[in-house]
């Protein structure tokens, strides 16, 4: 109880509240601009959080991402351009409602369901994280190695439509993580004599390059008009919404539960949760024929799922230090920078700080309703900011952010190189999120492997000697072998007789 | 700009081969079964295997690469050249020219190339460069170089 009171005192600090509000407005703006993602908003925010105390830094990320994901619905519904990938699942549905003269229904349902889903995910985070942390306190390097391996495997397999390309992206991230001085021997690896590379590739310039610079390049080269000013008019988004939410209450619950489950899987996150929830809504609907023609049921379920997934992605991040998606990967980087090493010890050593972080989740999701309403009302001026004016200004923030971490232009060079690489990769069908997860989880994986092998005297079977490690190991190996087994099973299935 | 799977898979396999070759030159740790080369070698093997799958699957795909709007839209070509060349120029001119001038010229130039009218382009580029410089140097204490405008800012 004392910890909870201390947590409230931390959150109610005017600086923290101001940061949450400012980050929320920033997230709303970035999310509402078509083509700019929630991950990009987080990437641009990180250099600023570098100069904040730990709690406002994390609170800024939480508020910014929740707002950006929700604001992504606005251009999706009004222009048929999803503001963020998480909104893409139901963009056509929302746009069909707009064409039918009901943009406020699409936007209102998306907004309120996002808040409900986010609160559901936050509740699961509060309940599940401490329970898991209690179990995780008994974990050693063997269990952490398997958890990291499982996280990386899910990242490669779940986040990519093409598994081989997902593995390529992941190995690129892991390779980047090996650059610099080796963690056990202290020998330089892949530094090619560069003193700058001895300290490794800095995570923040890498992330800004891969998410922000590549987005700017994609926006410039994708051939769409950069100066479009749309004409939109939206009424009260809350009119008649109560009846709609009551009618589809089961969808809200199912979407939130599914989003929470999928979001907690490493490598999955809210984007995938929204697609699965939309498909589920259609499958279980009494009126599946209405889907695609402006039916709010899919928006309710997928809208609840993407924000609940966003909150639950923090469960593996806080408990094991293993990110659930690209945004939590960035957040883990920030936590490390702030000396708040994520993992089960944080639950014992800094409970007040942890509760304070949990409270910010509830605050951010409650703020969604009034701020989201403001964003919907202000949709026209936000959408009217021409991208040909905005993109060059974003680049300036990228340059400053990449420089500010180590106060060296080497950060700008890293940002440039990885920005071009990410642009080429993305346009050729290679996912970017596994690269970032590889950079974050890579050192954890290698360090725990080397420590385990020193303990186990080089015997690989030591990874299966402890019960939880053995279970995690078997699950990981099964996931690795599943595609091969499926292929073989398909090959052995008797074909049709002539 | 899109690389066909046949080409991108080939690049990945070549990169993996280079990684494995470089990793093979890393020394062992005395008395240890695993050393600094272990992880890079495993990463190289996984990268090569995944690259081979992409290469094998997309071997017949043509054309090997398509450059989309970069091939025919003059404005896009100049914009990409300015965007990337400008960042390279920043690396060289960061200290002598300073952040405010570089940022204003870089962002203003890109705005003009992308079709923003000259007056708003100059106004926004200069305003943002000065505000960002002041916020980051005065409030966040980031040592952004002021260059020749040091006497003003």
Q: What is the ipTM of this complex?
A: 0.94
Q: Kindly report the average pLDDT of chain B as a whole number.
A: 90
The predicted model scores a pTM of 0.78
Nearest to A254 by CA among A225, A232, A279: A279
- Comparing alpha-carbon positions, the chain B residue that sits nearest to A166 is B50
Residues 160-179 of A with CB under 8 A from B: 162, 164-165, 167-168, 171-172, 174-175, 178
Phi/psi of residue A189, each to 5°?
Answer: -125, 130
- What is the b/e burial string over A311-325, where b = at least 16 CB atoms within 10 angstroms of the residue's CB? bbbbbbbbbbbbbbb
Which residues are registered as beta bridge partners of B65?
A: B3
Nearest to A173 by CA among A213, A214, A206, A211: A206
A382 with A34: CB under 8 angstroms?
Answer: no
Residue of B11, B29, B39, B127 to mutate, interface with A, max A Cβ within 10 Å: B39
Mean pLDDT per 10-residue section of chain A, whose length is 498 residues: 81 90 88 73 83 87 86 79 71 84 88 92 87 81 87 68 87 94 87 87 84 87 60 74 91 91 71 80 86 88 88 84 79 81 82 86 89 83 78 89 86 94 92 83 88 89 91 88 79 55
Tally of CB atoms within 10 A around A218: 15
A65 with A31: CB under 8 angstroms?
Answer: no
- What is the b/e burial string over A121-153, where b = at least 16 CB atoms within 10 angstroms of the residue's CB? bbbbbbeebbebbeebeebebbbbbbbbbbbbb
Give pLDDT, residue A229: 47
A281 with A298: CB under 8 angstroms?
Answer: yes
- Comparing alpha-carbon positions, the chain A residue that sits nearest to B128 is A393
Give pLDDT, residue A18: 92
Average pLDDT over residues B25-51: 91
Q: Does B59 or A415 have the greater pLDDT score?
A: A415
Measured between beta carbons, the chain B residues lying within 8 angstroms of A424 are: 1, 3
Q: Mark yes or no for CB contact A220/B2 under 8 Å.
A: no
A31 with A39: CB under 8 angstroms?
Answer: no
Residue of A396, A443, A456 to mutate, interface with B, max B Cβ within 10 Å: A396
Q: Mark yes or no for CB contact B144/A403 under 8 Å.
A: yes
Q: Mark yes or no for CB contact A48/B140 under 8 Å.
A: yes
Give pLDDT, residue A497: 47
A205 with A415: CB under 8 angstroms?
Answer: yes
Cis peptide before B63 (omega within 30 of 0): yes
């Amino acid at each position: 109880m004392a910890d909870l009171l201390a947590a409230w005192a931390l959150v109610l600090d005017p600086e923290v509240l101001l940061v949450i509000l400012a980050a929320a407005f920033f997230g709303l703006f970035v999310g509402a601009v078509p083509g700019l993602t929630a991950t990009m908003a987080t990437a641009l925010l990180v250099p600023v959080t570098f100069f904040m105390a730990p709690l406002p830094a994390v609170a800024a990320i939480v508020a910014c991402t929740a707002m950006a994901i929700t604001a992504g619905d606005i251009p999706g519904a009004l222009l048929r351009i999803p503001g963020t990938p998480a909104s893409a699942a139901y963009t056509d549905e929302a746009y069909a409602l707009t064409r039918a003269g009901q943009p406020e229904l699409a936007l209102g349902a998306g907004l309120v369901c996002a808040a409900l889903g986010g609160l559901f995910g936050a509740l699961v985070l509060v309940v599940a994280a401490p329970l898991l942390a209690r179990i995780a306190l008994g974990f050693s390097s063997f269990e952490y190695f398997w958890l990291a391996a499982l996280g990386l495997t899910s990242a490669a397999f779940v986040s990519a439509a093409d598994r081989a390309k997902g593995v390529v992206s992941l190995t690129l991230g892991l390779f980047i993580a090996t650059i610099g001085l080796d963690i056990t021997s202290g020998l330089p690896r892949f530094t090619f004599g560069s003193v700058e590379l001895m300290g490794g590739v800095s995570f923040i310039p890498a992330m800004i390059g891969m998410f922000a610079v590549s987005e700017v390049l994609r926006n410039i080269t994708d051939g769409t008009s950069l100066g479009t000013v749309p004409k939109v008019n939206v009424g009260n988004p809350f009119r008649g919404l109560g009846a709609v939410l009551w009618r589809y209450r089961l969808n809200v619950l199912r979407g939130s539960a599914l989003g929470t489950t999928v979001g907690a899987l490493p490598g999955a996150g809210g984007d995938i949760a929204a697609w699965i929830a939309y498909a589920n809504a259609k499958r279980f609907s009494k009126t599946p024929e209405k889907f695609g023609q402006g039916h709010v049921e899919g928006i309710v379920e997928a809208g609840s799922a993407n924000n609940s997934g966003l909150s639950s992605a923090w469960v593996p991040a806080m408990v094991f230090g293993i990110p659930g998606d690209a945004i939590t990967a960035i957040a883990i980087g920030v936590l490390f920078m702030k000396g708040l090493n994520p993992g089960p010890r944080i639950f014992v050593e800094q409970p007040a700080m942890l509760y304070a972080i949990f409270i910010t989740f509830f605050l951010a999701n409650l703020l969604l309703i009034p701020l989201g309403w403001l964003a919907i009302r202000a949709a026209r001026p936000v959408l009217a900011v021409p991208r040909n004016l905005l993109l060059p200004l974003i680049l300036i923030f990228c340059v400053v952010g990449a420089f500010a971490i180590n106060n060296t232009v080497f950060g700008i060079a890293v940002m440039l190189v990885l920005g071009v690489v990410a642009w080429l990769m993305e346009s050729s069908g290679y996912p970017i999120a596994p690269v970032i997860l590889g950079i974050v989880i890579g050192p954890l994986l290698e360090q725990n492997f080397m420590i385990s092998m020193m303990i186990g005297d080089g015997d690989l079977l030591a990874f299966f000697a402890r019960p939880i490690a053995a279970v995690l190991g078997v699950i990981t190996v099964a996931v690795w072998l599943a595609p091969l087994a499926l292929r073989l099973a398909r090959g052995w299935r008797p074909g049709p007789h002539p | 700009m899109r690389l066909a799977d046949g080409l991108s898979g080939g690049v990945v396999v070549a990169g993996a081969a280079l990684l494995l070759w470089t990793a093979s030159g890393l020394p062992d740790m005395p008395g240890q079964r695993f050393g600094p080369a272990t992880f890079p070698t495993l990463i190289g093997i996984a990268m090569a295997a995944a690259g081979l799958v992409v290469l094998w699957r997309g071997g017949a795909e043509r054309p090997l690469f398509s450059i989309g709007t970069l091939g025919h839209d003059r404005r896009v070509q100049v914009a990409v050249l300015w965007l990337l060349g400008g960042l390279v120029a920043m690396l060289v001119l960061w200290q002598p020219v300073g952040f405010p001038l570089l940022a204003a010229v870089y962002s203003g130039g890109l705005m003009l190339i992308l079709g923003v009218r000259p007056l708003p382009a100059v106004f926004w580029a200069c305003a943002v460069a000065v505000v960002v410089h002041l916020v980051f140097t005065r409030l966040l204490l980031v040592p952004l170089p002021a260059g020749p405008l040091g006497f003003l800012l």
